[in-house]
Amino acid sequence: MSFIPSGDLFEPTDSLQPSAQPKALLFKQFKQPFLWVLQHQPITGFWLRKGLTQITIRSHFETRLARDWQCLEQARQPLSVLLCEIDGFTQFRRQQGDRACNDYLGQVVKVIYAHIERSQDMLARYQGDTLAILLPYTSLDEAACVAKKIRLRVKALKVNPQLDPSTPAQTMTLSLGIAALVPTSNLAPANLVAAAEQSLRQAQTAGGNRVVLQEGGR
C-alpha cells in the first residue's frame, strides 16, 4: 500500500498511450448501450442530469470487469480498478442543494472522461456517490498517473453556490483508491474491487484529496 500525498506531483509515464480517438466518437460508440440503460434500468436522482447519463451502472461495470478479467488472464496483462469519491460531498449536497450537486458532478464526469479516452476504459456509478473506473491493459503506475491527473484537475474546479449566490466560489477535492494486478485463476474480480475499496478508505481516512495504491488483490 502506498500513498500519493496531496502536494506530491506524479509525472506521467511514457508507457500509458491513450487512444487519440475523439471523445465525440467515444460517446457515439457508447450511445446505444446508454440509451438501453435509461430505457430498461433507469438511474434515479441527480445521476440523470447534466450529461451524467454517460455513466453506466454497476451491473454493467461488473459484467465488463469479469470479461476483461478473463481476457487479460489469457494475455497476462494488467488490469486496474479506480474507485473515487468527492470529499465532503454529502455535506455539500445538504448545504447547496441538488442543482449545485448536479452541476458539479457533471464537471467531475467531464474531467474523468478527458483522462480515460481509450474505448476499452469504462466509467461507472459504483454505489452511492462512489464512481468506478475500469482500466484494462493498465499497470499500477499507469493507473496512478491517470488518477493523479484527475485529482489535480478536480481540485482546480470552481463550485458556484446555488442557494446563496453571494457566497464565493469554492473548491472541492477527490479521494481515489487504486488496485491493480495481472489476473490469475487463483484470484477473482471481487478481490481486485475489494482492494480498491480498501485503498479508497485509506485515502479518505488519511484526510482525503489523495491517491492510495495497492498492488494485487489478496
pLDDT of res. 11 = 30
Nearest CA to 126 out of 194, 69, 208, 210 is that of: 194
Measured CA to CA, the distance from residue 199 to residue 3 in angstroms comes to 9
Confidence of residue 166 (pLDDT cuts 50, 70, 90): low
Nearest CA to 2 out of 212, 217, 218, 215 is that of: 212
pLDDT at 153 over 80: yes
Instruction: Return the beta strands (E) in the chain as ranges.
Output: 2-4, 79-86, 122-127, 130-136, 174-181, 211-215
pLDDT of res. 191 = 97
Amino acid at 193: V
pTM over 0.85: no
Measured CA to CA, the distance from residue 116 to residue 107 in angstroms comes to 15
Confidence of residue 3 (pLDDT cuts 50, 70, 90): very low
Confidence of residue 19 (pLDDT cuts 50, 70, 90): very low
Nearest CA to 33 out of 50, 61, 49, 56 is that of: 56
pLDDT of res. 12 = 32
Q: What are phi and psi of 113, to 5 degrees?
A: -65, -30
Confidence of residue 95 (pLDDT cuts 50, 70, 90): confident
pLDDT at 60 over 60: yes
How does pLDDT run across 37-48, given as a tens digit for each residue? Answer: 333 333 344 443
Q: Which domains does the chain have, with CATH numbers?
A: 43-215 (3.30.70.270)
